[in-house]
Amino acid sequence: MHRRRRGEPQTLRPMRHASPSKQKRFFVFWEKLFSNFEGFFKQLCNPASQTLAIYSILFSLAFDTLLSYLIVRLRPYTEIDWSTYMQQVECYVKGERNYSNIYGDTGPIVYPAGHLHVYHYLYQITDAGKNIIKGQYLFMLLYLFNQATNV
């Protein structure tokens, strides 16, 4: 092999091509890969097969899970009615059962008692409504459970 000396122009060496055996292996690999994909797509498009439905459901749930997680982690909390619901639950916890006396910042409670009971559990789980991120994750799980069971 010839070493280049300082100041000597660089010469380009001719490009070596892959040997025929390497080329053959390359094409065999792609042929096998394509035939596997072809069979996979034939099964996806077969109306008698449920493969397409299963894969689309799994992909949709995985994408929805990722998107929901990113929203909870990256999007700052937006106050809508959480603090009001927690104030209404506090009235309930203190023993108030008259609906006209259960109120929060936005006024008296307007939802049925089932709503109050659900938020009472959330009140307990989220440390009296102070651990908002835990509440967001619980709502995310509830949403994903709803999506998974309504297929």
Q: Quick one: DSSP state of residue 49? A: -
The rounded distance, in Å, linking the Cα atoms of 103 and 87 is 7
The pLDDT tens digits of the residues spanning 131-144 come to 999 999 999 999 99
Structure token digits, residue 101:
């006396």
The pLDDT tens digits of the residues spanning 11-69 come to 656 556 556 666 677 777 667 767 777 777 777 677 777 777 788 889 999 999 999 99
The rounded distance, in Å, linking the Cα atoms of 62 and 144 is 10
**Which are the contacts of 103, defined by CB distance < 8 A and separation ≥ 6?**
87, 88, 91, 109
The pLDDT tens digits of the residues spanning 53-105 come to 788 889 999 999 999 999 999 988 888 889 999 999 999 999 999 999 999 99
Nearest to 118 by CA among 77, 73, 79, 88: 88
The angle formed by the CA atoms of residues 88, 68 and 122, to the nearest 5 degrees, is 25
Nearest to 88 by CA among 52, 62, 117, 57: 117
The strand pairing partners of 104, in sequence order, are 107
Q: Quick one: DSSP state of residue 128? A: T
118-127: average pLDDT: 95
State residue 83's pLDDT score: 92
State residue 13's pLDDT score: 61
136 three-state secondary structure: helix
State residue 29's pLDDT score: 67
- By the 10 Å C-beta count (0-12 exposed, 13-18 middle, 19+ buried), 137 is classed as middle
